[in-house]
Structure 1
Amino acid sequence: MPSHTSSSSYTSKNSNSDSGGKSQNRHRRHVRLEEQNNHYRRNYRPFTIPSSFYNIVHVHRFTSIDTISTLINHFESCYRYSIDTESDRLTNELSLIQVHSIPQHLPSFIVLVELNHLPASDTVLFEKIKLLFCFLFRLGNIIFSWGSMHTELAPVIHINLFTWPSLALVINLQDAFPGWYSRAQPFCKVCRPVQLSTTFMSSNSSCTCSNNSPYVNQGEKWSLQNAIRYTANLFLDKSATRRT
């Protein structure tokens, strides 16, 4: 009969092998995305926003109360936001929540909440940060995301930084984009005469003789980088992302 030690050793080896395989897969994916990013950089003009249009604020244990109070005042009068998350390159765990306010008047705020460097939960600063999230996720707000925020924020719900599900309306633009993009494509030279000759044109009409998309399968999710590349012919630099 195999000993308990041998069984434990076998299990440990399997675990190490699985971990090593996942690490290698992440590394290969990172290299592939980096090469793709460099290719786009060489072939497209960059997507940029003037720095005067926004202010960047890092939120962590060393952020001052005055800074958080300024953000709270801004969030009180703002009702539109976009939100994104990033994971740590080494652990692949959620480490950053990025909130971009969309106010009626510029400048906006880009708030980078560093989850691995937050203050203790029993401090005044932590309570202030929680209040900031209360204003973010309050009823009546609209929050735009690229991907499911429920999936992306689930790993940090337990730290009680915010209440989930959100009272705000969260719109996943990634899900809505393929349908919009299909309808927005202009007719090509081949199908335009046919479409113009019809007496009735459906609101869902679009060019059907070409597939101007980087994805083979219809159900594949568009990356934000590809969405901007195909709609605006611009390059969204992803070299600074922390996700692997």
Structure 2
Amino acid sequence: MSFIVKPSQLRDPAKPPTDLAARSLKNWYKNTNKQLQNYDYQLNYPPFYVPDVCYQVFHIHRYISLEQLQTIIAHIKSCRSFSIDMESDRYTHELALIQIHTIPSQLPGIVILLELFHLPLVDTILFQQIYSLVQLIFYSALNYINLQRRFKPWIERTLPHSEECKSEHINSQPYRCDCIPHIGTKETWSLQKAVRYACNQFLDKSYTKSRWKKLLDPLYSTLPSPTLNNMTYYAIYDVLAVSYLRRPVLESWDLDQLKEATVASLLTVPLFTFGELEDISDDDINGTEQTSTLNLIHEPQIADELIIHADDLNLLSDEPTVLPSIPTQLLLTKVKSHSRRSIQSRTKRNKTRNSTRRLFRYRHAIRRDLYHKFPMFMVKMILKKLNIQFVHVTRDVNELLIVIKNKHLREQYEETIPMNYFDRDHYIHAKQLLK
């Protein structure tokens, strides 16, 4: 899956806005170049793809059940390697989402989306379980490996040079060339370029700057379905791409090895690695030395989210180091509140937002004839008995509008709800059942 961008939606670098300050104009050019590069890669390379059977997705927030948390914790105890990414909100720049991909010995792994603005209250059992889960991953006895120093020399010595490049620079070291980006410089690689040059695939970065403070779980989110699907896809694949490149870099594979490798071999830890390690126990968490590999980010970089620091390729240092307790502190820190808007400002904002939502409210609606005495509470009761997952029901003169969340469900329910299900005879029958 990738987000199709129309040419008409692309910015033209030759036509920048005239009312921007110097710093804003610089950011505008930077984002425009990223957009054009994203579009160019989209046209010329197949999308980066990991089969759904290779991972399960869990959203961690105040609505998750204790049973689901226990399932995740049991899985984490069997893993030694994790890839971690973070996203900050587009407007507030506050850390809002932590993505964690477990790398087990056998698939499927788990992709955890920890939604920091939607956690339960600190004094609840549910929060304590989430806190324990985070401790399992970030406990202080872990050693972690920095791939950042390794990725750049690995990709630069692995990628083949053109014949012209070889002949021109054969005796000049170090040197710069056009066929491999960043060579001969201290510039770091973006995750998108890493996937493009190492895998010849396209990793879409269209949704890098998004409202990550919004709830992403499709069961509870209020975001429009297309936006929600795209943001969730982006969050999942951003952390999967990190895991995908882990073994080639650490084990110094060549490009042929990477090309011939299976997804299972790239997203798992070889069994021999586990033979050298003991199982994680409570004693280990409390302070026993443990040799493990954790690909961790230190802090979100919104302005440089495409740069492979620790937050993109999870490229960390090789020396045994005590991990910072950033995620634990984040869980216990009260989120800063916004400054209060004026009543007029809130009214204007709500009116604009409601007008936009109203345009799409009846996009997936089912229409049925409606007897004029049929009350809405009775309609909703009947729909619930039929297991119809509706978003909204309303009367439109002599018709009933049943708003469904998506096209697939609407097509399914069209056959489930008879055309005359809300006529006079059914009204009388339903009224008798309520007596």
TM-score, normalised via structure 1 length: 0.66
Cα drift, residue 129 of structure 1: 1.0
- The residue type equivalent to 2:117 in the other structure is N
Superposed counterparts of 1:156-235, under 5 Å = 166-186=140-160, 188-189=162-163, 191=166, 210-215=177-182, 218-235=185-202
Distance 1:209 1:126, change over 3 A: closer
Cα distance between partner residues in 2 of 1:216 and 1:189: 16
Partner deviation per Cα, 1:87-115 (whole Å, 9 max, x = no partner): 11111221111000011111110000011
Structure 1: gaps (5+ residues): 1-19, 139-165, 196-205
Superposed counterparts of 1:1-244, under 5 Å = 29-138=30-139, 166-186=140-160, 188-189=162-163, 191=166, 210-215=177-182, 218-241=185-208, 242=210, 243=302
More strand by share: 1
Cα drift, residue 23 of structure 1: 6.9
Cα distance between partner residues in 1 of 2:67 and 2:29: 43
Cα distance between partner residues in 1 of 2:182 and 2:146: 19
- The residue type equivalent to 1:91 in the other structure is T
**SS class of match (2:111):** strand
Cα drift, residue 209 of structure 1: 7.9
Cα distance between partner residues in 2 of 1:77 and 1:137: 15
Cα drift, residue 217 of structure 1: 6.5
Cα distance between partner residues in 2 of 1:103 and 1:25: 43
Cα distance between partner residues in 2 of 1:134 and 1:104: 21
Distance 1:187 1:212, change over 3 A: closer
Distance 1:28 1:93, change over 3 A: farther
Cα distance between partner residues in 1 of 2:206 and 2:138: 29
- The residue type equivalent to 1:168 in the other structure is L
Cα distance between partner residues in 2 of 1:99 and 1:23: 33
Cα distance between partner residues in 2 of 1:66 and 1:222: 40
Distance 1:59 1:29, change over 3 A: farther
Cα distance between partner residues in 2 of 1:115 and 1:24: 32
Cα distance between partner residues in 1 of 2:57 and 2:33: 30
Larger radius of gyration between Structure 1 and Structure 2: 2
Distance 1:118 1:230, change over 3 A: same
Cα distance between partner residues in 2 of 1:24 and 1:128: 46
Cα distance between partner residues in 1 of 2:79 and 2:185: 36
Partner deviation per Cα, 1:67-101 (whole Å, 9 max, x = no partner): 11110000011111101111111112211110000
Distance 1:167 1:31, change over 3 A: farther
Distance 1:22 1:114, change over 3 A: farther
TM-score, normalised via structure 2 length: 0.39
- The residue type equivalent to 1:40 in the other structure is Y
Cα drift, residue 238 of structure 1: 1.4
- The residue type equivalent to 1:78 in the other structure is C
Q: Is the 8 A contact 1:47 1:235 kept in 2?
A: yes
Cα distance between partner residues in 1 of 2:66 and 2:24: 39
Look up the match of 2:427.
none
Structure 2: gaps (5+ residues): 1-20, 211-301, 304-435
Cα distance between partner residues in 2 of 1:33 and 1:66: 42
Cα drift, residue 132 of structure 1: 0.8
How large is the Cα RMSD of the aligned pairs?
3.0
Partner deviation per Cα, 1:4-50 (whole Å, 9 max, x = no partner): xxxxxxxxxxxxxxxx9877766664444333222211111111000
Aligned residues: 187
Q: Is the 8 A contact 1:88 1:94 kept in 2?
A: yes
Q: Is the 8 A contact 1:188 1:207 kept in 2?
A: no
Percent of pairs identical after alignment? Answer: 40
Q: Is the 8 A contact 1:119 1:126 kept in 2?
A: yes
Look up the match of 1:3.
none
**SS class of match (1:235):** coil
Partner deviation per Cα, 1:215-235 (whole Å, 9 max, x = no partner): 376111111111111111111
Distance 1:84 1:209, change over 3 A: closer
